Amino acid sequence: MEARGGSRRGGRVERCPSHSVRGGLLLTGFTSFGGEGFNPSGWAVRHVEEIPGVELIRAVLRTSYRDSERELRKLLRRHRPHAVVAFGLSARRTKISVEAVALNVDHAEERDNTRERRLCRKIDPRGPWIVESRLPVDRILRALRRERVPCSLSYQAGTYVCNHVHYVLLRSTRVPAGFIHLPRRRGRWVLHVVRTIVREVVESISS
C-alpha cells in the first residue's frame, strides 16, 4: 500500500486446520479503504483456497500505523507462525510487486484511517535503515512467470502503512517473512496469484 488507507474495520482472524507446516502460515491483508472501495489483499487472504498439509492463519489488518503494528505483534505472539506473507494494495501498479526490502521510515502526506499523518519519522529509532525480505523472492518470481503473471522485484514499498507493516514484521520475527503488493485486480486471478505465492513459500520452508 503506497500512501493510501484502509478501513477502520479489521483484525478478523481465521484458522484453517491442518498439520504439516509447524506453527502455521500467517497471511495478512488490509480491508477496503477510501475511494478504492475494494482491497484485493484482504479479500484474497480471506478467500484463497486451503493448501493440503498447511494451517493457514488469515488476518485483515486496519490501515493505521498504530493499529496495524499492534495487531501484527499480537498475531505473532499468539500464533507463532512458521512463516508470514503480508499482502497489500498498490493501486498505481499493474504488476505483482515482490518487495525486496522494508525501509525504516514513515512518510506520507496522506493520513491513515485514524487521521494520523507521519512525516520523516523513523519506525524504529535504533533500527537499521533497510531490512531485507526473508521470503524466497527469486523462487516466487519464477513461479509467477511460469504462470504468465506480470510481476517484478520491487525495492520501494512506499513509506506508508504497507511499508510500516513490512518493517515491523521483519524486525519482530526471524521466520521467513515478507510483503507482496497486489495491483487493483479481483476475482479468480488474484486468488490464483496468492495461492501460487503461498505454495512457493510452503515448499521452500518444507524442503
Which one of the listed residues 2, 69, 71, 99 is annotated catalytic? 99
Which one of the listed residues 79, 82, 166, 181 is annotated catalytic? 181
Q: What is the pLDDT of residue 207?
A: 76
Name residues whose C-beta falls within 8 Å of residue 186's C-beta, 6 or more positions apart in sequence.
38, 40, 43
Q: What is the pLDDT of residue 188?
A: 94
Q: What is the pLDDT of residue 38?
A: 85
**76 CB-side CA count, 13 A:** 21
SS (H, E, C) 136-163: CHHHHHHHHHHCCCCEEEECCCCCCHHH
pLDDT in tens, the chain (207 residues): 544 333 334 555 554 443 345 569 999 999 776 566 789 999 999 999 998 889 999 999 999 999 999 999 999 999 999 999 999 999 889 999 999 999 999 999 988 888 899 999 999 999 999 999 999 999 999 999 999 999 999 999 999 999 999 999 999 999 999 999 999 988 899 999 999 999 999 999 987
In the three-class reduction of DSSP (H, G, I as helix; E, B as strand; rest coil), residue 43 is classed as helix
Q: What is the pLDDT of residue 6?
A: 38
Domains of the chain: 13-206 (3.40.630.20)
Q: What is the pLDDT of residue 193?
A: 97
Please say if 162 is a catalytic residue: yes
- Taken in order 146, 135, 56, 36, the sign of the CA dihedral is negative
Please say if 151 is a catalytic residue: no
pTM of the model: 0.88
Please say if 99 is a catalytic residue: yes
